[in-house]
A and B are shown apart, each in its own frame.
Chain A
Amino acid sequence: MSDITLLKNKLLLVASSGAFANFSPEQVKEYNDELEHFLLVSTDSLDSIELFNLYELEFYLALISKNDIKAKSVLDRLLDQFGSNKKSQRIKLLQSLFLEATGERDQATKLLEKNPDEMLLSRRLTTFSRNNDDEKDNEDYIYNLIFYLDLQPSDLVTWAELGDEYSKIGHYDKAIFSFKEILLQDPYAYPVFYKVALNYYYNFLQEEKNLKTERKDKLVELSELLINARDNALRCIEICDVYAKSWLLIYIISTHKFNEKLSKLDSVKEIKDYLVTNERLRKLSEIKISELIPEDERANVLAQLQLK
């Protein structure tokens, strides 16, 4: 397979998965240059669907990298092709993004609220209540997301957004509920199982910080959060056993110092089982982590997990 085809497939995958939305600025620059060069020399190897998907990617990358002139020219090219289709929410979304990015928020709002039946645009409209300066003060945004979910309860992407918003402000129980809504509709979504596990773990850390007494019932209650975190991480691994972050979470849980406190309670059957399994999981997770995560990246990933 030629290098051009390999590159084409990679760029199309980035465009279709939306991976560019989570790119670092370095990656945005790198992909912008790569795509520009590719479109310059290899446009002939693309069919029209591939070409316009790559134009869409070019628009997003240009907009993120503040190259508004290029973003406008790509948008005009897309409008020339699809602008006559007044029902295209995808095109209107691109137009509204351009207007929002260039400071014409009112015009973007007008475009998005024209037809309340256009759910993709209504969804975008909710983001206008987002607080861009302080992510932890997003009550209005959360309220709007819930309002939207009342109208469109099967929108999994919005449930994921709501879960992450709750997680940012430390409402881990509500974040878990949101992620579980996704799992009800898509029970094999292993990255979501990991997110549920992570939020149970954060919930445990939050509760542990507030723990004032070491009463048996309180410790048992806390251990349930850890057990839930571990079980969800294990479910993630059961579906995808190369999901490194989940193995790392299992390692953290199995080596947590709270387990020492629990060892005094081994008269409780659930806790005894948990501690016995923990030892086996610790050994297994150590092996898997050394296989899956390069040594120089391990400390970085570990730090990200324990930041909260």
Chain B
Amino acid sequence: MATNSSTAAFYVVGLLLLIHSGYSSFEFHKLSIVSHYHGSLPIDIVLETVIAIIIIVIGAITSVSNTPVLSLKGEQINSRSKFLKFIEMKDAVTVIESIGLSDYEELNTRVGFINIIKKRREYSEWLGQST
């Protein structure tokens, strides 16, 4: 929630600065035409534009922060990396392993080969024991 509001703040401030610098640039060019001035854009407008873009980029990065996930046991797992996902495989696999699964779970679960008769029998036996 805090991340969402800080992201929104970055976007709002960045966009306001960008619009302001754009309008300043527009005014400057209008005045240049009227007063026949041929100089370059003032440094404060350029600086304002650069700062606005930096703020928007920071907002974009904070918006891709990793969200927590629930493990199979129902525990909330937070990623070790706050923003972006890991690139190296040995770090990337730790996230899914902490949930209790792996990227190769299909080779372990093999739903297409599920022994439905055995599973149902096990369930009945368990029900019989627990009642």
Contact = CB atoms under 8 A, between A and B. Distances in A.
Nearest to B76: A6
A300 to B, nearest CB: 15
B112 A1 contact: no
Interface residues of B, number: 41
A22 B109 contact: yes
Contacts, number: 123
A161 B116 contact: no
Interface string A4-17: 00110110011001
B112 A124 contact: yes
Contact of A190 (B93, B111, B120, B126): B93
A97 B116 contact: yes
Contacts of B93: 190, 239-240, 242
B69 A190 contact: no
Interface stretch (A61-69, A211-219, A254-262, A265-273): A61-69
Contact of B68 (A1, A65, A123, A160): A1
A70 to B, nearest CB: 14
Q: How large is the interface on A (under 10, 10 to 19, 20 to 34, 35 or more residues)?
A: 35 or more
A189 B72 CA distance: 21
Nearest to A64: B119
Interface of A: 1, 6-7, 9-10, 13-14, 17-22, 24-28, 60, 63-66, 93, 97, 100-101, 120, 123-124, 127, 130, 132, 156-158, 160-161, 182, 186, 188-192, 238-243
The 4 A-B pairs at the shortest CB distance, nearest first, are namely A25-B126, A18-B109, A18-B111, A10-B70
